[in-house]
Amino acid sequence: MDSPSTHSNQFESLVLEHHIRVRAFVRTLGVEADWVDDIAQEAFLKAYLDWESYDQTRDFGKWVRGIAANIVRNEIRKQARRQRILNSDLVKMILAEGKGDQSAWDHLPLEILKTCMSKLNQLNRTIVEYRYREGLNASEIAEQTERTSANIRQMLIRVRRQLRLCVERQLALES
């Protein structure tokens, strides 16, 4: 058996290696942004507690994502008490489809994403910064930029599509 500190260090490395993928996965299940980290941490905590049963030949990330999906399933069962955490019916639909863990990106490329963001035009870049760096909602961004909130949401959808496309192209080039 590993010593506690070895176990701890090994676990810490695994968390750092897999947290992005796990957090993004939890979000794709429809969990509200504010609760993503809470559920992802709970998944890692359960993994830590169940460490002895972890087969180290298996993909650790996939194992934790499975745990996270089960946490989300349990949340939905609590129904009304969790209405604010999850869009329950939508999450059920996503879970039923079973493709939540089939991201096109095995290793989610934050560096590539940053590069792609630097290519955004000034307006789009500003809106992304307001939304994700300053934490403003669409209405507040609309106020700052003298646009409508619907317009801001539409712009953000396009920006996210554009970024996804850019990342995929970069990955294809690199491979």
77 binds other proteins (CB under 8 A): no
Q: Nearest distance from residue 10's CB to other proteins, in Å? A: 10
Q: Of 117-156, which residues contact other proteins (CB under 8 A)?
A: 117, 128-129, 132-135, 137-140, 150, 153-154, 156
Which of 70, 74, 90, 106 is close enough to bind other proteins by CB under 8 A? 90
Spatial separation of the C-alpha atoms in residues 38 and 68, rounded to whole Å: 10
SS3 per residue for the chain = CCCHHHHHHHHHHHHHHHHHHHHHHHHHCCECHHHHHHHHHHHHHHHHHCHHHCCCCCCHHHHHHHHHHHHHHHHHHCHHHHCCCECHHHHHHHHHHCCCCCCCCCCCCHHHHHHHHHCCCHHHHHHHHHHHHCCCCHHHHHHHHCCCHHHHHHHHHHHHHHHHHHHHHHHHHHC
Among 83, 107, 148, 169, binds other proteins (CB under 8 A): 83
13 vs 59 by CB, closer to other proteins? 13
Tell me, what DSSP letter sits at residue 101?
Answer: T
Contact of 88 with 82, CB cutoff 8 Å: yes
Q: For residues 14-73, which are near other proteins according to CB under 8 A?
A: 15-16, 19-20, 23-24, 26-28, 30, 32-38, 40-42, 44-45, 48-49
Interacting span for other proteins (CB under 8 A) from 55-63, 65-73, 96-104: 96-104
- Interface residue with other proteins among 53, 58, 77, 114 (CB under 8 A) is 114
How many residues touch other proteins under the rule CB under 8 A: the total is 72
The binder of other proteins chosen from 81, 122, 146, 173 (CB under 8 A): 81
Nearer to other proteins, 129 or 171 (CB): 129
